[in-house]
Structure 1
Amino acid sequence: MSKEARALLKKINDKKNAIKALVNEGKTKEAKEAKAELVDMQDRFNILMDLEDDEDESIKDQLDKDEATRVEGKDKAPSKKDIARAFVNRIVCGMRKTKMDEKDKKIMDAMSEKTDEDGGFTVPQDIQTDIHELRRTDDDLEQYVNVEPVSTLSGSRVLEKDADSTPWDDVDEAAEFGEEETPKLRQIKYKIGKKGGILKVTRELLQDTAENILGFLNKWIAKKSRATRNAAILKKLAEITNTKEVAISTVDDLKTVFNVTLDPAIAASSIVLTNQSGFNYLDTLKDERGDYILQPDVTDKTKMLLFGVYPIKKVSNKVLKNAEVKTDGSNVSAYKYPLYMGDLKEAITLFDREKISIELSTEAGDLWAKDQTGIKVRDRFDVQAFDEEAVIKGEITVPVAG
């Protein structure tokens, strides 16, 4: 039954109850008028159901045709909607411990995404694509680093450092290639790690539509995956800049980082990554002419540029925390606002296994007692440093007021 038909059926039942109440109150005239409305509503409902029956019959005929086509060896690949339905039904059947519809089972079995090495099953690629799209928000740090898709759990990549600023030599016709200028090659080894958590859902979720169940699950996975990958990227940034922090207290300190400390090729593609506190500090800072050093991006007025050149990327203080300065071992006397400046795509590589898997359980912990189901979700990736000189961490020290 469609959503529209269900809504109309509810109105019919409500109208019946209202008519009974009018009869009990002796309001015969009002009851007759209400009954006329009820008849009209009932007719509309019957028409809707007839249309849905026709549609179901049409769908059945089409499925029969598709099956006949498949037998002839001309079967078409399932649509994205079919895959989504089959995926949700697999989850629901797993929660209910019931047998999966044969048609949906064939769709899931026909795909390469089946059981993974840790148990459970892999999320179909089309669904993962939707999750990736939901993950791409302004505070998604993954978009600012280099991402390398990988198909193995461990391996390595050989990349050239300073590739943008190291030109090729001239080579005469039929001459041998010289080796005087050896590229600065660096091997980056990766080992895919497993991250994950459990989403506890109630039985009521199973009564919802496949679209709503999938939408709820996708949003949750996207948020948790983004938070997990952000944390890993920030941890790696902190590691490669540890003990090399630069104090920032004036506009000239900022200029020195981009003019001198960073290589010109790196500075040309640099961004500034900071938190709410650091952004607010920069947003109130003025140069010697009294102009604010942050200027709106002419291509997008919602974004700001440092010195009108370097994009500012702001994340929450909860994500990128301020460091505490304690003078007597207990009381906080100041805070250090973090300011990462450089080309993060040159500094860090995220090796993405591109494989999200799901496992279901109704027996773990206190789930059974609370009539809940646990959906265990796993994500796999690794974050490694490449060019540690491609990013500088600045620290803005601000005393605690009072």
Structure 2
Amino acid sequence: MDERERELRQQLAAKLEEARSLTNENKLEEARAAAEAAKNLRKQIDLLQELREADTPASTVPAAAQEDDPGQEFDLKKEHRSAFDKYLKHGKEAELTTDEQRAFKQMQQQARSMSEGDKAAGGILVPEDISKEIIKQKQTKQSIRNLVGVKPVGTLSGSRAKRRGTNLRMNNVDEKQPISKMDTPQYQEVKYKVHRFAGIFEATNDLMADSAVDITDELRDWYTEISLNTENDEVFYGIGGDDSCEGIFVTDKYRTLPCTTLDIKTLRKLKNMVDKGYRNGAKWVMNTAATEALADMKYSDGKSVLVPDPSKADVFTLFSYPVEVFDEIKNEGTTEQKTKLAFGNFEAGYFFFDRKSLEAKTTDVGGDAFDNDTTLTRVIQRFDGKPANEDAIVILTGVPVNG
């Protein structure tokens, strides 16, 4: 950082403080003028950074050398994480080392390459270790990632092959007899187009300035929760099309069975609608109200159909198959509420296409950040969800429950 840039940063900090003081004194016109001046100073700083990077390009390393040097990859991750932590704390005013700037720029370019819209609007990719921590946290909770088939993807759109269930058998032949041809397995494509989901984390500037607070941890915990809720809701109730997942309880791809009477016979019929090949690894999926509706159902010998696990709370089996309880599954109706439940092999029956990389961008001027004296961090995730093997899942509709 040269002397001119350091001077501009000092002017920017002073101008922001002036704008906040004027806001507190209710001198709004003067405050907005100070805010505009701060924005112009920030543009000058950004331009100086771009000129410096253009004037002193990083030394190039052959691709083969990059692949063969694991230490270099480790350094990139380390500098990226360090730059990301400073960026969350200080935004564009963060003072980065040369290596941190290089890592920041590479990750920013990757983030922009993932955007289909304004390439200049991209933030920075969330470091891989934080992304992995977020996924691990989700997997310790009631997440659809533990239910459906998760397919990591590296492009914004594409397809994955699925093999349909088949009853093919090998031919019985004698020694030295020619082996006749047989039908080949049938494959179909599941097309995906990842959708963009975003959330904004708002923190007071006092909190951002508190050295005892790890903003990265705060952001990770907040994002884990809202992302988990979003993924679960989209996989169950996404409306499909260009802007949403195609939800399990919304799609018309799976077979359904109307619940005229909720009894053992109906549940057994639903279970047996799934071929035995798919029943290996199958689960029941329902909400808490549905488990309540099944709680008093018993066999002729008085044993409960819904069997609790004595060692774990709220863990059940039904016909020896695990029961997964998701309260994102809705009850419908007012006076007489009804819900849906599903049975099948969800890992084979539904694909969750995960773009994996998360993107973050901060501002303390845009949106309501300036007026509220806060810093906003926008986090973007990209994923899609589609039915895969339609025969692997069946839905029981119109299940009567007490809300």
- TM-score > 0.5, shorter chain as reference: yes
Pick closer, same or farther for the CA change 1:301–1:321 going to 2, 3 Å. Answer: closer
Q: Is the 8 A contact 2:350 2:388 kept in 1?
A: yes
| 1:117-161 alpha-carbon deviations (Å, 9 max, x no partner) | 341011111111011111113420122111111111111112101
Give secondary structure in 2 for the equivalent of 1:237: coil
1:253 aligns with 2:250: no
Q: If the length of structure 2 is used for normalisation, what is the TM-score?
A: 0.69
Q: Which amino acid aligns with 1:99?
A: E
Within 1, Cα distance between the matches of 2:366 and 2:179? 63
8 Å CA contact retained: 2:163, 2:188: yes
Name the SS of the counterpart of 2:297 in structure 1.
coil
CA distance in 1, matches of 2:106, 2:142: 36
Q: What is the alpha-carbon distance in structure 1 between the residues aligned to residue 297 and residue 229 of structure 2?
A: 30
Inter-CA distance 159–314: structure 2 relative to 1 (3 Å threshold): same
Q: Distance in 2 between matches of 1:282 and 1:136?
A: 27
Structure 2 residue 250 is matched with structure 1 residue 239: yes
Name the amino acid aligned to 1:296: P
Among 314, 317, 323, which residue is 2:325 paired with?
314
Give 1:388's match in structure 2, choosing from 387, 390, 400. Answer: 390
Aligned position for 1:327:
none
The answer (yes or no) to whether the contact 1:116–1:357 under 8 Å persists in 2 is: no
Report what 2:275 is aligned to: 263
Q: 1-side partners of 2:169 and 2:310: how far apart?
A: 33
Shift of the 299–113 alpha-carbon distance from structure 1 to 2, 3 Å rule, reads farther
Aligned to 1:377, which of 367, 376, 379? 379
% identical equivalent positions = 24
- How far did residue 90 of structure 1 move? 2.0
C-alpha distance 340-105 of structure 1, shift in aligned 2 (>3 A): same
The total of aligned residue pairs comes to: 316
SS in 2 for 1:269: coil
Relative to structure 1, the CA distance from residue 206 to residue 346 in structure 2 (aligned partners, 3 Å threshold; closer, same or farther) is: same
Q: Which amino acid aligns with 1:254?
A: L
Residue 18 (structure 1) aligns with: none
What residue in structure 1 maps to residue 150 of structure 2?
A: 147
Mapped partners of 2:343, 2:90: distance in 1:
49
Structure 2 CA distance, aligned partners of 1:211 and 1:270? Answer: 44
Mapping of residues 79-98 of structure 1, within 5 Å: 84-94=81-91, 97-98=93-94
Q: Counterpart of 1:279 in structure 2: which amino acid? A: T
Letter in 2 for 1:137: T
Q: Distance in 1 between matches of 2:186 and 2:222?
A: 42
- The answer for the alignment partner of 1:35 in structure 2 is none
Q: Which has the higher strand share?
A: 1
Question: Where in structure 2 are the equivalents of 1:118-267 lying within 5 Å?
Answer: 118=115, 119-162=122-165, 166-167=168-169, 179-209=181-211, 212-235=214-237, 236-241=247-252, 244-247=256-259, 248-259=261-272, 261-267=273-279
- C-alpha RMSD over aligned residues: 3.2
**Counterparts of 1:113 and 1:311, CA distance in 2:** 45
- DSSP 3-state at the match of 1:389: helix
Distance 1:75 1:144, change over 3 A: closer
**1:67-82 to 2 correspondences below 5 Å:** 77-78=74-75
- TM-superposed CA distance for 1:101, in Å, is 3.9
The alpha-carbon distance between structure 1 residues 92 and 257, as it changes in their structure 2 partners (threshold 3 A), is same
Tell me, in whole angstroms, the C-alpha distance in 2 between the residues paired with 1:399 and 1:360.
45
Conserved? CA contact 2:162–2:389, under 8 Å: no
> What is the CA-CA distance between 1:209 and the residue it aligns to?
4.3
C-alpha distance in 2, partners of 1:172/1:233? 50
Q: Is 1:100 equivalent to 2:96 in the alignment?
A: yes
Cα contact 2:107–2:125 (8 A) shared by 1: no
* One-letter identity of the residue aligned with 1:134: Q
Cα offsets for 1:83-118 (capped at 9, x unmatched):
5443211222316x2432445435545769854334
Task: Compare CA radii of gyration and give the structure with the larger one.
Answer: 1
Q: Structure 1, residues 23-49: CA drift from partner, whole Å, max 9, x if none?
A: xxxxxxxxxxxxxxxxxxxxxxxxxxx
Given the alignment, which residue of 272, 279, 297 partners 2:291?
A: 279
Structure 1 range deviating more: 386-395 or 269-278: 386-395
Q: 1:102 to 1:213 in 2, by over 3 A?
A: same
Amino acid at match of 2:163: E
- Where structure 1 has 5 or more consecutive residues not aligned to the other structure, the ranges are 1-72, 325-331
Relative to 1, partners in 2 of residues 1:177 and 1:89: Cα closer, same or farther, differing over 3 Å?
A: farther
Give per-residue Cα distances to partners, 1:50-78, cap 9 Å, x unaligned.
xxxxxxxxxxxxxxxxxxxxxxx996634
- Give matches, 1:297-336, under 5 Å: 297=309, 303-307=315-319, 309-316=320-327, 319-324=328-333, 332-336=334-338
SS in structure 2 opposite 1:379? strand
